[in-house]
Amino acid sequence: MIHKFHLLDRFILLDVASGAVHEIDRAAYDLLDTIKAPMTENPPEGLDEEEREIWAELYELQQKGQLFTPDVPVPDAPETVLKALCLHVAHDCNLRCAYCFASTGDFGGGRKLMSRETGERAIDFLLSKCGARRNLEIDFFGGEPLMAMDTVKHVVDYARAKAPEKNFRFTITTNGLLLNDENIEYINREMSNAVLSLDGRRDVHDTLRKTVSGGGSYDIIVPKYKNLIAGRKGDYFVRGTFTARNLDFVNDVNEIEREGFRNISLEPAVLPNGHPLALTEENLPFLLLEYERLLERILQGRDYSFFHFQIDLEQGPCVYKRVRGCGAGYEYAAVTPEGDIYPCHQFVGNEAYRMGSVFGGSMDSAISERFRTMSIDTREDCRICWARYYCSGGCAASNLTAEGDIGKCYSLGCALERKRVECAILLKAAHLNEKELH
C-alpha cells in the first residue's frame, strides 16, 4: 500500500509498510493514480517521455524496497511481561476540570490517597512480573499526585533500594497548584519527565480547569511551571486538552508558546456522546484545517516542538509497537490507591476491566489476553488504513468511550490522527530538505 497527499504546495508519497517517504512532483503524483503494484520494469504503452522517466524512477524505488513494499507480518503476541505502572497515588484533586474523565479526580470511588504500603506492594508486583527487563517505568498520576507527595518520595526510595539492578524511570503529571520550591527541586532531581497541565489561553484554561472554589488556575500555575522548567535538565511537556469549547486550538498552542514553553502537547478530549464539550464529526473539517494552520506556523520557524508532529522516519518504534500499540493490559497497568489493577489509567473505575490487586499478586489472564492479542490485524478498519503503523490501532480506552468496544476504532480520532501523521511527515521532509527520506 502507498499513500500520497498534497499539503501546503508539496507532494508527498509514503510507502506504508516500509515507512519510506518521498517528496515528488505533480507529474509523478498524477502518474501514481494509474499504477498498479507491483510495477514492471518496462512501462506500459501510451506514456510520454517524461512519464516513462518517472516510471523508471519509481520502479527503481520499488526494487530498493522503498515503494509498494509488502505488509509487515504481524508477529505473535508477546508474553505478558510488565515494564511500566501508572500509580494513582491520589484519587483526589484540587481542580474541577469540566472534561475530566476521572470524575474530578476520584474516579467515581471516593477521594483517597495511596498509602506507603500499597506503593511498596505495587513495586513488588512490578518486580514479580517484569522478568529480565532492566528498564522499568513508574508514572505518578491522579487525581493530583502532588497531594500524595510523601508517598511519591517513599515509592521512589523503595524501588531503588528493592531493585538496585533495575533502571527505574520516574515520571509525574501535575496540575501545578501544589508546586513549591521543595517539590520543584525534587521533581527536577528525580523525575525523568514532568507533564504539566495547561490548556492554553487564560480564558479557555480558567473556564475548563477551575479550582474547588470555582476560581481560575492559570495565573497560579504558569509562574510555577516557569520556575520548574528554568531549573530542569530532564524532559517535560506542557500538555493541554481541546474540546468543543476551543476548536481553534492553535490559538492555545500559540499562547503556551508565548509563555515561553517549548515542548507542547494538545490533545483532543474524548468524551461520551452528548457531553456538551464533546468533539463531533461536524467539527472535523475545522479541526483538520487547524492542524494545517499549526503546521504552517511551525514551518515559518517557530521555536517549539508539537508532540503529535514528532515522527522518527529513520528508527521509529519496533514492529511490536507498530502493530500492537501502547501495551496496556499486558506490558503496562494502572494501580489505584487501594491496590486494584486496571489495564491503564483511563479504565480505572470500570469494574469490567478490574484485573486484580497488587495484594493478590496476579492479573486477570482473560482481560490481559484480550489486550495482548489485539493488533492492527484484528481491527477491520486498521487493515485498510495507510496510517496503521503510526497509530497502531489507537487508544483502547478512547475506542471504548466513543464506540463502546476497545477493538473498534474511534472514527473521529482516526481522522485526526491521519491528518497529524501527514503534517508530521511533511514537517520532517521540509526540515531535512531532501528528495528521498528513509
- The pLDDT tens digits for 383-400 are 889 988 888 888 898 999
CB 225 within 8 A of CB 214: no
**Secondary structure percentages of the chain, helix, strand, coil, to 5:** 40, 20, 40
**Residues 214-248: b if buried by 16+ CB within 10 A, e if exposed:** eebbbeebbebbeebbeeeeeebbbbbbbbbbbeb
* Torsions phi, psi for 194 (to 5 deg): -125, 125
Cα 164 from Cα 82, distance rounded (Å): 18
Taking only the tens place, the pLDDT of each residue in 63-83 is 999 999 988 777 677 677 899
**pTM score over 0.85:** yes
Q: How far is CA 16 from the centre of its chain?
A: 20
Strand pairing of 2-7 and 362-363? unpaired
**Residues 388-401: b if buried by 16+ CB within 10 A, e if exposed:** bbbbbbbbbbbbbb
CA distances in angstroms from 7 to 10, 143, 296, 306, 319, listed in the order given: 5, 40, 10, 18, 28
Cα 234 from Cα 221, distance rounded (Å): 20
CB 293 within 8 A of CB 250: yes
**Which three cell numbers, joined as nine digits, stand for 302?**
517557530
Say whether the peptide bond before residue 216 is cis (omega within 30 degrees of 0): no
User: Which of 377, 406, 386, 384 has its CA nearest to residue 394?
Assistant: 406
User: Which of 382, 373, 388, 383 has its CA nearest to residue 409?
Assistant: 382
The amino acid occupying position 247 is L
Cα 187 from Cα 258, distance rounded (Å): 24
**Which three cell numbers, joined as nine digits, stand for 374?**
489485539
User: Which of 340, 363, 359 has its CA nearest to residue 117?
Assistant: 359
Which portions of the chain are predicted below pLDDT 70?
75, 78, 313-322, 432-438
The amino acid occupying position 396 is A
Cα 162 from Cα 431, distance rounded (Å): 45
Cα 119 from Cα 145, distance rounded (Å): 13
From edge to edge, which strands make up the β-sheet containing 167-174?
305-306, 263-268, 235-242, 193-197, 167-174, 135-141, 84-88, 332-335, 340-342, 356-357, 362-363
pLDDT at site 383: 86
